[in-house]
A and B are shown apart, each in its own frame.
Chain A
Amino acid sequence: MDDLYREVIIEHYKNPGYRGTLEPNDISFEDENPLCGDHLKIDLRVDEKGNVSEAAFSGHGCAISQASADLLLESIIGKNVEDVKKLNKGNVLELLGIELGPVRLKCALLPLKILKAGVYGLGEATDELVE
């Protein structure tokens, strides 16, 4: 459990590198976790080659979801949108370096869900995106 709140997570929660909004942006999507009401918005700027040049997240959430958002955005800078589409649950858990039960998994995966709904240009973020 102390692992769950290992330093890197608290650090990214308290001092996120990618918190903010991007206006204008190329991709923007927001949604919430209905279980807890956490709200997250992700904005991306994408260059002409389809690579993510800038990313930012805003909203409110627990340490797990916020750290997950920060680590996730950090990991996709310079990546092609097509590669972002391929990201899955395993990638997020690897970034966080922790194991999670079913409830907290929803917190950890909320950023990926929103990111993928954005890059796919979907109307809503569904759990299927991160299975």
Chain B
Amino acid sequence: MINNFDVLKVRNDFPILSREVHPDVPLVYLDSTATAQKPLIVIEAMDDYYRRHNGNIHRGVHTLAEEATEAYENARAKIARFINAKKPRQIVYTRNTTESINLVAQSWGRKFLNQGDLVILTEMEHHSNLVPWQILSEEKKLRLEFIPVDDNGLLDLAVYDELLAKNPKLVSFTHMSNVLGTINPAKEMIAKAKAAGAVTLVDGAQSVPHFAVDVEDLGVDFLAFSAHKMVGPTGIGVLYGREDLLESMPPYQGGGDMIKKVFLRSFIPNEIPYKFEAGTPAIAEAIGLGAAVDYLSSVGMETIADHEHKIVKYAMDLLTQVPGLLIMGEKEGKRGGVTSFTLEGIHPHDIAQILDQDGIAVRAGHHCAMPLHDRYRIPASTRASYYLYNSVAEVDKLIAGLTKIVKMFNG
């Protein structure tokens, strides 16, 4: 498969990749973990919607409203197929992964979790899978416990087993760390959680864009992910849910479209997924996400995963040779397309700023995972991340830039 993959051809699909960041300095985009770039097919799908089909969905009778509704719902069906959900009604549109997790916390959590209930999270979570549970816990007095991360960036599954013996109600964890690139053994962890009687939520923000994720195979109860990290637009995300769980959950927000009937003092909620989609949604963005799913499917998720694995391995081999550079997470084994690192004596902000001079976009900071950085006893790191459109030549530019920085500060 990988031999047939032409990264230059893929790059041509993304208009932004041909821009210059400074005069004669082309963009080297190594920040896809924060947000991915968009192929023309996604941009055009949204453009076409606004040029030709813009109308509010669901209750309109006129042609535009019909077309908008059809496109919006078609996208939902595409997304369901993409993650192998049984039915489109299991796909709830949200704003992003964060909102999807908040929806579960505020709807399912508020109804089904009670004082003293055990919720298992991990030390490598993004703030989006920590703070919603902390907020709920203020009200509910939950017991939040965390699976530790070992020095190789892997979850300590022995501790997970111990926690599972304490009657957990929910296990919620990231499929792939946005800092370490660790891909957690989700299927095994879900099976164990189920055996312990817990509901499971997987943060798929970094997995769904980068490799094939099959909700039926995983057996997961909830899966949250964002469009913008999978070459789709910002402003739209997805909560996949097990049908009976979604049915049992109360509405999260009230307003238009989430109701079946409204009286002055009461309402009857709409069926799923509309029950959770109050107000006019991000219609163009949903259609854009549908186009993104088409695009990723046309390239093939296995091809994408293979390519990223090749790039990240190449990057790891070279990064480890930069003097004073320490990579967070596992050095061997299979990691996702993320390399976070520190350079001795040089702050990540300075690294990112100087790399930008060479057109190289990386991220500096705690990447919304402050507890994970605390665990490694560092305030911040620099992160270079890779996607289907990145080439080995771009990795070479990163290495050259880092070598220059080391000389500048330590020379």
**With A35-B365, A64-B350 given, is the CB distance from A5 to B380 under 8 Å?**
no
**Considering the chains assembled together, what is the distance between the CA atoms of A39 and B378 in angstroms?**
12
Per-residue B-contact encoding for A33-47, CB less than 8 Å = 1, 0 else: 001111100000000
Question: Which residues, 4 to 63 on A, are CB-close (under 8 Å) to B?
Answer: 4-5, 10, 14, 35-39, 60-63
In the assembly, what is the distance between CA of A107 and CA of B350, in Å? 11
A14 to B356, CA, bound (A): 22
- From residue B389, how far is it (CB to closest CB) to chain A in Å? 25
A46 and B249 alpha carbons, distance in the complex (Å): 61
Partner of A62, one of B348, B356, B366, B408: B348
List the A residue with the shortest CB-CB distance to B346. Answer: A63
Tell me the bound Cα distance from A118 to B234 in angstroms: 40
- Let me know if A63 and B379 touch, CB within 8 A: no
Tell me the bound Cα distance from A29 to B8 in angstroms: 53
Instruction: Kindly state the separation between the CA atoms of A66 and B347 in the bound complex, as whole angstroms.
Output: 10
Give the shortest distance, in Å, between A40 (CB) and chain B (any CB): 11
* A104 contacts the other chain (CB 8 A): yes
A37 to B127, CA, bound (A): 14
Contacts of B366 in A (CB 8 A): 36-37
User: Chain B's nearest CB lies how many Å from the CB of A16?
Assistant: 13
A100 to chain B: closest residue by CB: B353
| Given A1-B357, A5-B354, A10-B409, A37 and B347 contact (CB-CB distance below 8 Å) | no
| B349 beta carbon closer than 8 Å to chain A | yes
On chain B, which size bracket covers the interface? 10 to 19
Residue with the greatest number of chain A CB neighbours at <10 A, chosen from B346, B350, B409: B350
A38 touches B379 (CB 8 A): yes
**Which residues of B358-411 are within 8 A (CB) of A?**
364-366, 370, 373, 379-380, 408-409
Q: When the two chains form their complex, are residues A64 and B357 in contact, meaning their CB atoms are under 8 A apart?
A: no
List, in ascending order, chain A residues with CB within 8 A of B379's CB: 36-39, 60
Chain B residues, Cβ within 8 Å of A2: 357
With A37-B380, A60-B379 already in contact, the answer to whether A10 and B347 are too (CB < 8 A) is no
Residues of chain B within 8 A of A63, CB atoms compared:
346-347, 349-350
Bound CA span A88–B364, Å: 27
Closest to A32 in B: B379
Contacts of B347 in A (CB 8 A): 38, 60-63, 66
A10 touches B408 (CB 8 A): yes
Chain B: which residue is nearest A104 at the CB level?
Answer: B353
Q: Which residues of A contact B380 (CB under 8 A)?
A: 36-38
* Chain A residues in 8 Å Cβ range of B409: 10, 14
B-chain residues with CB within 8 Å of residue A62 when the two chains form the complex: 347-350
A1 vs B353: C-alpha distance when bound (angstroms): 8
- A5 proximity list for chain B (CB < 8 A): 350, 353-354, 408
Residue among B356, B357, B379 with max Cβ neighbours from chain A (10 Å): B379
Find out whether the CB atom of A107 lies under 8 angstroms from the CB atom of B349. yes
Q: Given A10-B408, A60-B379, A63-B347, A37 and B353 touching (CB < 8 A)?
A: no
Q: Name the residue in B353, B379, B408 with the highest tally of chain A Cβ atoms < 10 Å from its Cβ.
A: B353
Check B349–A104 contact: CB distance below 8 A: yes
State A39–B379 Cα separation when bound (angstroms).
Answer: 9
CB-CB contacts below 8 Å: B312-369 with A: 345-350, 353-354, 356-357, 364-366
Partner of B365, one of A4, A36, A39: A36
A85 to chain B minimum Cβ distance, whole angstroms, is: 28
**Chain B residues near A107 (CB-CB < 8 A):** 349
Inside 8 A of B345's CB, which chain A residues have their CB? 14
A4 to B373, CA, bound (A): 27
CB contacts (< 8 Å) of B350 on chain A: these are 5, 62-64
Residues of chain B within 8 A of A61, CB atoms compared? 347
Set of chain B residues within 8 Å of A38, measured between Cβ atoms: 347, 349, 379-380
- Return chain A residues, CB-CB under 8 Å to B348: 36, 62
Closest 9 pairs between A and B when the two form their complex, measured CB to CB = A62-B347, A62-B349, A1-B357, A36-B365, A63-B350, A37-B379, A37-B366, A62-B350, A60-B379
Interface residues of B (CB under 8 A from A): 345-350, 353-354, 356-357, 364-366, 370, 373, 379-380, 408-409
Spell out A's residues near B (CB within 8 Å). 1-2, 4-5, 10, 14, 35-39, 60-64, 66, 104, 107
A-B contact pairs, 7 of them (CB 8 A): A1-B354, A5-B353, A36-B380, A60-B347, A60-B379, A62-B347, A64-B349
